Amino acid sequence: MTWDLKSDRPLYTQLIEQIELKIFSGTYPPGSRLPSVRDMAQEASVNPNTMQRALAKLEEDGLIITHRTSGRSVTEDKEMIKNSKSKLARDQISEFIEKMQMLGFEKQETLILITEMLEEIKK
């Protein structure tokens, strides 16, 4: 359970992203209970207030549910989790394509480049 936090962006936004990833990847399965705010904050070496802020946003999005005095849990709605994950993936892809286009690489070129790099990695 590693938390990879950099200083180039607000911590709470990075926390949101990484908790999302833990949910999408199954590290935090649907319906499972989350550690307490204080515990998660300590795990990520972050102030409880900052973790609280990230969790509040995730609840607003419906990914996690808060039980006022007895902790939080991941939503049981697997369909919703799946959709959120797909949307994030699509966003990543179009953002990537856009950046490559700004760099002057056409869609076809981009595809060739990424294929080549994947081949190299395989070795």
Partner DNA sequence: ATCATTGTATTAGTCACTTAATACAGTGGT
Partner DNA sequence: ACCACTGTATTAAGTGACTAATACAATGAT
Select the binding partner of residue 21 from a second copy, DNA, none (C-beta < 5 to 8 A, by kind).
a second copy
- 1 contacts a second copy (rule: CB under 8 A): no
Of 50, 45, 40, 42, the residue nearest 19 (C-alpha): 40
- 101 contacts DNA (rule: CB under 7 A): no
CB-based contacts of 117, cutoff 8 Å, min separation 6: none
- Rounded-to-integer distance, Cα 72 and Cα 59, Å: 9
Q: Where are the alpha helices (DSSP H) in the chain?
A: 11-24, 37-43, 48-60, 78-102, 107-122
Q: Tell me which stretch binds a second copy (CB under 8 A): 20-28, 40-48, 49-57, 73-81.
A: 20-28
User: Taking a C-beta distance cutoff of 8 angstroms, is the pair 84, 73 a contact?
Assistant: no
Choice from 43, 104, 112, 123 touching a second copy (CB under 8 A)? 104
- 8 contacts a second copy (rule: CB under 8 A): yes
71: left (phi over 0), alpha (psi -120 to 50) or beta: left
Binding site for a second copy (CB under 8 A): 8-10, 13, 21, 24-26, 85, 88-90, 92-94, 96-97, 99-100, 102-105, 107, 111, 113-115, 117-118, 121-122
- Positions that interact with DNA (CB under 7 A): 10-13, 34-39, 45-50, 52-53, 55-56, 59, 66-72
